[in-house]
Structure 1
Amino acid sequence: MKIKKYLLLFTVFSSFAFAQDQSNEMSAQTYYTYASEAFNNENWMNVINYSKVLVKHYPNSPLTKEVSFYLGVAYFNLKDFELANRYFSRYLKNENSPRFFEEGLMYKFEIAQKFKNGAKKHAFSSSSGPKVINASEDALAIFEEIINTLPNHELACKSLFEKALLQITFEDYKESIDTFKTLINKFTKNELAIQSYVEISKVYLKQTTVKHQNLDVLEAAYLNLSKFEEAFPESEKLKETKKNIFNMEEKFAKGFLEIADFYLKTKKLTASKMYYAKIVNQFPNSTFAIKAQTKLDKIEKNEK
């Protein structure tokens, strides 16, 4: 008799638990439907409200994982890029085969672009804090995440390019050039490979001033141009790269001219002649070559 009583109680409780599970799942489905409708209508605050109810009260529902994508899109459109990135990351990590996998990474790329271009994060790591924190490092991390996740995708190519540009702003010139070279080697026929050759020449130009000159940098610039000409002999962008090298040569020639003039002024004629000759021989197309040749001729004439 006791056994029958226990069996009856077990059946009642099991039925209640099953009904409760069914009720919960129906409720989860209801909130998911509301969130989906709000998403389709681009009512971003309702997307957030319904999705957060679903996340809070039904954490184990499979529908809960998918609304992380909705939350990411909603916060992106409300220009809270920090929270948007957080939800996209959660969505991509929690799902084995996310339905919006590629779209999620595309949104993350756009967020990285926003951070790179000056969008700020919340202060005090609080969603209610003012957006005043520089997010450039976050942009770099997102670009690297995309490169590692989709190494052969067009999005990885774009991320490599943007990462290299960001490294320039950090004054990580060597790292930037290495990143551009990785793009060139991996996406050889892509338009961004062409632009990468140009950007490399810009980095070399940036490293060269009248007061700070390194012939190794100039040689590297010549090599970059040679590879560019070999890979894309018909490219219009070759003109820009050659112009950057010409500007480098101008800086070298001007620097040598200042040194030569100093030696001339201090009566160190041998050293002065050496630097004037360097300008004439190494940078014959520079605007300083004629001036150097004139001064060199004058010294040699006076020595006779």
Structure 2
Amino acid sequence: MTLRFDGQVAIVTGAGNGLGRSHALQLAARGAKVVVNDLGGSRDGSGGSTAAAAEVVNTIRAAGGEAIAHGANVAVMSEVEDMVAQAMAEWGRVDVLINNAGILRDKSFSKMTMEDFRLVMDVHLMGSVHCSKAVWEIMREQQYGRIVMTTSSSGLYGNFGQTNYGAAKMAVIGLMNTLGLEGASRNIRVNALAPTAATRMTEDIMPEEVLGMLKPEAVTPAALLLAHESAPDRHILAAGGGGYALARIYETDGIFLPESEQSPEALQQQWQAIASTEGQQPLEAGLKQGEKFLHKALAYVQGKAG
């Protein structure tokens, strides 16, 4: 079955180049009306131009699709609200949001300024918050929505010189997890894409021969799956160079210590048991962790009473 987006309206941020451009073009090719958002700044977030977004819109229209451009800075809520208002005025609904906009200001933590840290957080994290908030009530009222966050292996696993970027990219996972829970009853599904692609963001990081394999177009199928009506909920889908995998957060089963034995020394002695992966599983929500620990405590109490 071909995955289509006929009659749907999609907003793609940072869609003037790279991954966002690829996402926007493919959404349009599959029937979506697309808001092509791009501030048009450089890789570090400086400057601005409407040229890149306009080129994507022209490409979509030339192929018979519908699209409008908007130069909102996703770090500024009022500009994001204007973008969503224009989408509503043009088409009357918003079905898909792909939070793709981003910048890089890489430096080791010892050399990084707080301005650079805060700006990257503002674009990646608060940009995703602003855009999601701006479409949230629309999606709730129409009882349909698909939101895709863009995370990164730098956030999930760390990457030297990217404390700001890594912190922001892990933060959007927390945003995804809770929005997915809150939106479930209104048929709003929220997922995250963890891409590896050759874009302006990665051109200085990877060797040229590797970059040739990591085309944005290889990531877009994953983005479209997460944006589709049939999407899962609260999943992290990694994609790059033709490879696709799920990243999941697991918690070991762990141990229970009675109050009289709760000490750092006891934890050190029991470290192997705490770290054992036997019986580990992903937790469906934060409360599940407390529930697990309470079950262990109850089992201890019952065993002692028996």
The normalised TM-score by structure 1 is 0.30
Q: Which structure has the greater CA radius of gyration?
A: 1
Q: Decide which structure has greater strand share.
A: 2
The normalised TM-score by structure 2 is 0.30
Higher RCO, Cα 8 Å, sep 6+:
2
Q: Decide which structure has greater helix share.
A: 1
